Amino acid sequence: MNFFKSLIISFFLLLSYNILAQANLLNAVIPQEIGQLNEQQLATSDNEPLAYGYVDDRDVMWSKTVWEKIDLDERINFPYYYPVENVSPHRKPLFDVLTENIINGNITEVYTSPYFTDKMTIQDVQDGLFAQVMTDLGVEKANNGEELTDEDYQTTNLTSFDIEQYWIKGTWYFDKRLGEMKYRLLGIAPVAPDVNFIRQYSEEKTPKEDQDLAPLFWVWFPAARESLNKYEIFNSKNASQPITFDLMLNARRFNSIIFKEENPYNDREVKDYIYKDALRQILESERIKNKIRDFEQDMWNN
């Protein structure tokens, strides 16, 4: 019953979103008029994300916080990766949406870790997106006391093309008032190879599994919803009904693997207690997932 209820709600949410990318497409005289709304459309449009309902702490009967990896090599997760090139003001890769809104000041809740204690400034975020290394010729010139120029440095900038994964943190909880299991996304982080070694990885053709990946920053998701709701993902099943990043993430329209759950051992990751065994790590992830899913089922079987 809960599945059908969620399906109906998702259907009406999809119908309620505005078609910004295709607006005025058939009436445009010049290409620049595509996507422009008339006065009536602007007056009736509602681009605000659907507000979360209030959840009283007393209604939370059980909860578990988990961390998951969204691998962008998987086809189902391609909407978060493409387009890597700018094809529309409303269609951008998720990484560009996050970084642009952080730099513009629209997203301010940015942190160094998923515990959201140490806040990052705009400059901190920008510093983590590029690296500058002195070339061999530059080192030689510096040793000889010669003046250095921009050509004596190699600059590497992280782009959406370099993002390999997204890590998300969220809480599953059983709402006893509604009598169902719910999920609340708390944070999201783009994950990429160390910017200082990207050029080296490329030159040496290092396999992805051997590259050191790390989150660039953590965004407190509830505070970023308004910005994420302004950008759309291409809907391959119906081009006239694009979907926003906010809706996609809240509806959990992605494939992911749990790599950590809250635990008394400093929230250690699965790989910390299952060493170098990918199959057993995947099975452990499935065990955690099944434990969460079975809790709701067991509520009605006891």
Q: Is residue 28 part of a domain?
A: no
Q: Is residue 106 part of a domain?
A: yes
Q: Is residue 18 part of a domain?
A: no
46 burial via Cβ count (<10 Å: 0-12, 13-18, 19+): exposed
Residues 30-55: tens digit of each pLDDT: 776 666 666 655 555 556 788 898 99
C-alpha distances in Å from residue 10, one per residue of 3, 31, 54, 91: 11, 32, 19, 21
For position 187, what pLDDT does the model report? Answer: 97
Q: Is residue 46 part of a domain?
A: no
The more confidently predicted of residues 202 and 24 is: 202
Say if residues 21 and 232 touch (Cβ distance below 8 Å). yes
CA distance 32 to 103: 26
84 burial via Cβ count (<10 Å: 0-12, 13-18, 19+): middle
Q: Is residue 205 part of a domain?
A: yes
For the chain, how many helices (H) and strands (E)?
A: 10, 11
Q: Is residue 67 part of a domain?
A: yes
Least confident of 90-94, 98-102, 171-175: 90-94
CA distance 81 to 233: 10
CA distance 50 to 186: 16
**Is pLDDT of 280 > 70?**
yes
For position 11, what pLDDT does the model report? Answer: 41
Q: Is residue 76 part of a domain?
A: yes
**To the nearest whole number, what is the mean pLDDT of the chain?**
84
Contacts of 157 (CB under 8 A, 6+ apart): 129, 130, 195
Q: How many CB atoms lie within 10 A of CB 101?
A: 20
* Range from 105-109, 138-142, 195-199 that averages highest in pLDDT: 105-109
**Is pLDDT of 1 > 60?**
no
Say if residues 72 and 81 touch (Cβ distance below 8 Å). yes
Contacts of 6 (CB under 8 A, 6+ apart): none
Q: How many CB atoms lie within 10 A of CB 73?
A: 10
pTM of the model: 0.82
The more confidently predicted of residues 271 and 13 is: 271
For position 20, what pLDDT does the model report? Answer: 44
C-alpha distances in Å from residue 232, one per residue of 27, 61, 85, 108: 21, 35, 14, 21
The percent of residues in the chain predicted with pLDDT above 90, rounded, is 52
Q: Is residue 44 part of a domain?
A: no
CA distance 171 to 139: 50
**Is pLDDT of 266 > 70?**
yes
Residues 128-181: tens digit of each pLDDT: 998 887 777 877 777 888 777 777 778 888 999 999 999 999 999 999 898 889
**Is pLDDT of 90 > 90?**
no
Domain count, the chain: 1
CA distance 10 to 247: 9
Q: Which residues pair with 91 in a beta bridge?
A: 88
**pLDDT band at 185, cuts 50/70/90?**
very high
**pLDDT band at 58, cuts 50/70/90?**
very high
Contacts of 198 (CB under 8 A, 6+ apart): 131, 156, 158, 162, 192
CA atoms within 13 A on the CB side of 28: 14
Least confident of 11-25, 36-50, 202-216: 11-25
Structural domain of residue 70, as residue ranges? 58-299
**Is pLDDT of 64 > 50?**
yes
The more confidently predicted of residues 235 and 215 is: 215
**Distance from chain centroid for Cα 20:** 22
3-state secondary structure of 22: coil
Mean of pLDDT values over 179-197: 92
Tokens representing residue 15 in the block: 């119908």
Q: What share of the chain is helix, strand, coil (3-state, %, to 5)?
A: 35, 25, 40
**pLDDT band at 23, cuts 50/70/90?**
low
For position 238, what pLDDT does the model report? Answer: 80
Mean of pLDDT values over 224-239: 87
